[in-house]
Amino acid sequence: MDIVRNEDGTLVVPVQPERSQATDDDADASSEEAETPRQPTQPTTRILHPGEGGYDAALAEWDLQQNPDRPPAVSTASGRQEAMALVHAVANSPDHTVAPAVASLSDPNASGEALRHVLVGGVPSVEAFAAEVAEAEGGDPLPAHKATKIIGEVLSELDSS
């Protein structure tokens, strides 16, 4: 089952259900179960919101699913600078629109690669990136969950264009 990214930034991720453990009371039933074929356990899903534990890793996995043949992300200095300006612009826009900001990029591929590189590093990498954005562009650092949500929106927009 693939990870699904919703319009609101939430991710629907597969979760393997936990196996129940047999008790002594089930000892009599175990001989009957040996004769009865077990039903395979179907995976269930969970919705992860930006900022929840595991969200960054799931978003990186979702991004990889969009293009499984993509080589590992490599961040360039110019791509990172443009990505920082983009995240800052989206975070501070009154209507929080991503499409016009992405359309204004001079090198969308380099910016996307820089953002993918940030995601691969997980929460510490996102926090460091948010601090770097604040230092370069001004203002307070974005909380990691907000920065991650914007990165997801940008990557989704880049993949759809």
Residues 84 and 139 in one domain: yes
Residues 106 and 142 in one domain: yes
Q: What is the mean pLDDT of residues 79-96?
A: 90
Number of domains present in the structure of the chain: 2
Residue 36 is given by DSSP the state S
Residues 82 and 119 in one domain: yes
pTM of the entire predicted model: 0.68
Residues 124 and 151 in one domain: yes
Domain hosting 71: range is 55-160
- Strand, coil or helix: 11: strand
Residues 121 and 156 in one domain: yes
Q: What is the pLDDT of residue 37?
A: 55
Q: Is the pLDDT of residue 19 over 80?
A: no
The 3-class secondary structure across 61-101, one letter per residue, is: HHHHHHCCCCCCCCCCHHHHHHHHHHHHHHHHCCCCCCHHH
| CA–CA dist 42, 36 (Å, integer) | 18
Q: What is the pLDDT of residue 35?
A: 56
> pLDDT tens digit string along 26-79?
555 555 555 555 555 666 888 988 878 888 888 888 888 888 888 777 778 888
Residues 104 and 67 in one domain: yes
Residues 106 and 129 in one domain: yes
Residues 64 and 79 in one domain: yes
14 by Cβ neighbours in 10 Å (0-12 / 13-18 / 19+) ranks as middle
Residues 62 and 124 in one domain: yes
pLDDT above 90 coverage of the chain, percent: 32
Closest CA to 83 of 55, 106, 63: 106
Residues 132 and 79 in one domain: yes
Q: CA geometry: angle at 6 spanning 121 and 133, to 5°? A: 40
Residues 120 and 152 in one domain: yes
* Residue corresponding to tokens 């691969």: 120
Residues 34 and 61 in one domain: no
